[in-house]
Amino acid sequence: MRRLLVRLPNWLGDLLMARPFLHALRASCGDAELWAIGTPASRLLDREQLWHRWIGLDAAVSMRDAHSPFEGLPFDAGVALPPSFSSAWMLWRLGVARRIGFASDGRSWLLTHAVRRPARGERHLSEEYLSLGESLAIGRVELPLLLPGDEDRAQASARLRRLGIERAPLAVLGPGAAYGPAKRWPAERFAALGRRLIARGHRLLLAGAAEDRDAADAIATVIGEGAHTVAGETSLSEQLALCAAARLTITNDSGLAHLAAAAGAATVVIFGSTSSAWTSPLGPRARVVQRAPVCSPCFQRTCRIGYRCLEAVSIESVERACESAAA
Ligand code: SF4
């Protein structure tokens, strides 16, 4: 093969769960040129040199324009990691010869290799991604940590200095989850846990995306001195460095959980309506807390019966997981 194309997942968590596949593909592709199409967030993986050329999703979507980056370039094979119709359609439109992806969303006719998926949670998502590489005969490789660069570390250190907390043991709290409230542990428990951590000498960063800012601010206000909100202020690279510098990251099942785990940081992840068997973060020091009632996993964004899965997660069970992760 001379040229391969990978359509990367859009969600940060899915992207990081695709790393075993991407590393395996890179190790197996020999002299072939590897191209990737993804959202700007996927540039976080530039540091791993997993591809020769990266194209932004917006540019790829406008591929019929005169300035299409793909003009006249034949691809021998392409893998659509997202299960969406549009990602398979993109491979087809680009004239990719072997088009590989999950058999889903009524798109199998667009693919030359439509791979059937097991029921959600039967296999970890990273294993499902690896199964897409079987027809390309890719092997497996050991997954390296996703380490921050020097510049990212310097940026994180400067922020901690500005906040006056560069010497204290640091805990990152991630109370957000874009998916919906059925993934969010109650804010008052994050606040109570935060107060206990501060009593033990920690300083706290309330982290997340811009849309998590208000919730993070509210929790920081309840906790009081020693809690600082950085949600919406950091790039993914700086957030990676902050997690790597922290003693602990405690977060809902969100992109932040996958980021901290990938860095090899001590990470405690609280699961609600979704399946930890399917999408637990990959990392040697990641610990999951899930108390699944009979209705779990329902994969719903909101709950009509009182969020029992999240209510059942006690502060003490999260503290025990913290001890295990940080040991
Ligand atoms: S239905 Fe069950 S698993 Fe789903 S959010 Fe509600 S309590 Fe949690």
307 CA to middle of ligand 1, Å?
5
Confidence of residue 73 (pLDDT cuts 50, 70, 90): confident
64 — pLDDT class (breaks 50, 70, 90): low
For residue 119, the CA-to-ligand 1 centroid distance in Å is 18
3 state SS for 158-226: HHHHHHCCCCCCEEEEECCCCCCHHHCCCHHHHHHHHHHHHHCCCEEEECCCHHHHHHHHHHHHHHCCC
Dihedral sign from CA coordinates of 50, 55, 57, 63: negative
The closest-lying atom of ligand 1 relative to the alpha carbon of residue 310 is 8
- Residue nearest (by alpha carbon) to ligand 1 atom 3: 296
Whole-number pLDDT of residue 105: 79
Q: Taking a C-beta distance cutoff of 8 angstroms, is the pair 160, 237 a contact?
A: no
Distance, in Å, from the CA atom of 110 to the CA atom of 91, rounded to the nearest integer, reads 8
Give the global pTM.
Answer: 0.95
Average pLDDT over all residues of the chain: 94
Ligand 1, atom 2: nearest CA belongs to which residue? 295
Alpha-carbon distance 95 to 92, whole Å?
5
Distance 180 CA to ligand 1 centre (A): 12
What percent of the chain clears pLDDT 90, i.e. is strictly above it? 90
Nearest atom in ligand 1 to 296's CA: 3
Q: Which residues line ligand 1 (CB under 6 A)?
A: 182, 272-273, 293, 295-296, 298, 300, 303, 305, 307-309
Query: H or E element: which one contains 35?
Result: strand 33-38
Distance 18 CA to ligand 1 centre (A): 27
Rounded Cα distance, 133 and 116, in Å = 13
pLDDT tens digits, residue range 280-318? 999 999 999 999 999 999 999 999 999 999 999 999 999
Nearest to 250 by CA among 207, 211, 280: 207
Token pair for residue 294?
């009979």
Query: 3-class SS at 227?
Result: strand
Distance from the alpha carbon of residue 185 to the mean position of ligand 1, in angstroms: 12
Terminal Cα-to-Cα distance of the chain (whole angstroms): 46
What is the reported pLDDT for 108? 94
Question: How remote is the CA of residue 298 from the centroid of ligand 1, in Å?
Answer: 6
Longest pairwise C-alpha distance within the chain: 63
